[in-house]
Every structure is written in C-alpha cells, then in structure tokens.
Amino acid sequence: MEVSLQIYGDFSGYTDIARGTSRLFGIELIRNFRQPYLSRNITEFWRTWHISLSNWLHDYLYVPLGGNRNGALSTYRNLMLTMLIGGLWHGASWTFVVWGGLHGLYLVAERAIGVSEHRGVRPPIRAGQLPSKLFTFALVSMTWVFFRADDFGQAMDVFRSLFSGSGGLPIEDVILVGVIALEVLLMDLYARRQPALMKVLQYPVVEGFAYGMLAVGVIVWSGGGGAQFIYFQF
C-alpha cells in the first residue's frame, strides 16, 4: 500500500501542478487521473490512470496491431504486446517488463471472462462494489512492487516479507500510512462526488475549515525536506 500511495501521490500530484501552471498561461491540459484506485477492474484502472499514456498505447500500439478485430487469440496477443511495450517504455529493465506483463495478463483474463468497463460517466460508488475495488487495488499494488524495485532481488524480498509476516513496519509508520491512505481516499471520493459536495463548500466556514485542514496536512506530512519525483526519469 505504501508504494501504491507514493507512486499515485507523486505522479498525480506533479501532473496537477503541471495542469495548474499551464492554466496560468491559458493552456488547458487534459486530466490525467480520474480516481484510478476506485476502479472496479483493471480495464477501468487503465482508463483512469495516466490517461494520456493509456490513450497513446491504445491508439498507436493496440489498434495498429489489430486491436480486437481478428478474434479472441489475436486480441489477447495484442493486449500482451501493448502492455509489454508499455513496460519497456518506462525503462530497459526486466522489472518493467514484468510490470507490463502482469497488467497484460490481467487485461487478457478480464477480456476472457467478459469483464468490461463502458466509457463515459462512471457509476456511483456503492457498498456492493467494495470487494471488486479492493481486489483490483491489491492486483495493482502487486505490480507496483516490480515497478518500484531496483531489481528482482529487491522485489522478491518485499514479497517474502509480505507473505511471511516478517519485516513489518513500526506501528507509528503503519498509522502514518493509514492516515495518508484515508486522506487520498477522501480526496478521490470528493473528486468523484464533486458536483454535490461543491454545494456544501459554498459556506465560508466549511470551505475555510476544509482548506485549513489541507494546509495543516501538507505541513505535518511533508517530511521536512524535498525528494526527487519518482517519475523524473520517464
């Protein structure tokens, strides 16, 4: 979870900074993230995570390869090739190949069992969707281990620690990760339900309190120092 939150906060955060800076110059960039960790399946995840790259992979790799026009087996092959190339785009490392390959396998499996996600307005969040959302988040988090690791040995160490129960985080770090996860979830829920919640923020007291808490959160959880963006190399 910690790696998932770090990557999401890093990438989504600096793209929001880029969008805000561009607006100052009258340039409107596309929205690159639409609450991807609230996705019900991997297909939906890739339509809400790094949308510009997802569209590029679809339009310039998947479709030219044949897309889904030549039967099931060709579709599965095209999905795998697209995601493997997407992994290599991030770097010439076997860890990125595995990251892309796992996502390719997920997408092939979903296509094989008939899972789909319609483009357009996403359905409202309901309690019955929670298991599929948690399962999707778990699948994505497993791939992030390979994405973030320097090599296979480091990735395997993480999985050994995870499944053996050893190498756990200190309780204060667990609390910190939990608080950050809650903040991310609340912000994504707010973004999903923004039209309704914006009516509540029209009250000056509520708006002041909300922005004040955000400012306090930035100060408290900033860590007191700068860090290089994870995605600076891509």
The string of pLDDT tens digits covering residues 36-72 is 988 999 999 999 999 999 999 999 999 999 999 989 9
Q: Which of 138-142, 143-147, 154-158, 173-177 has the lowest mean pLDDT?
A: 173-177
Q: CA–CA separation, 84 vs 78, rounded Å?
A: 10
Give a yes or no: residue 147 inside a domain. Answer: yes
58 is catalytic: no
Q: Which residue has the higher pLDDT, 107 or 124?
A: 107
Q: What is the pLDDT at residue 116?
A: 62
Residue 46 located in a structural domain: yes
Residue 125 lies in a domain: yes
Q: Is residue 11 part of a domain?
A: no
At 2 the pLDDT is 74
pTM over 0.85: no
> Residue 200 falls within a domain, yes or no?
no
In a domain, 76, yes or no: yes
Contact 144, 158 (CB under 8 A): no
Percent of the chain scored above 90 by pLDDT?
37
In a domain, 136, yes or no: yes
Gyration radius of the chain's alpha carbons: 19
The pLDDT of residue 97 is above 90: yes
Is the distance from CB of 146 to CB of 98 less than 8 angstroms?
yes
Q: Which of 21, 79, 80, 7 is nearest to 50 (CA)?
A: 7
Q: Does a structural domain hold residue 185? A: no
Mean pLDDT, rounded, for 19-33? 91
Structural domain for 127, as ranges: 35-170
What does the H/E/C string look like for 167-200?
A: CCCCHHHHHHHHHHHHHHHHHHHHHHCHHHHHHH
Residue 72 is inside which H or E element, if any? helix 72-90
Three-state DSSP class for residue 211: helix
Number of structural domains found in the chain: 1
8 Å CB contact between 103 and 144: no
| pLDDT, averaged across the chain | 82
Q: 58, 90, 103, 118: which one is catalytic?
A: 90
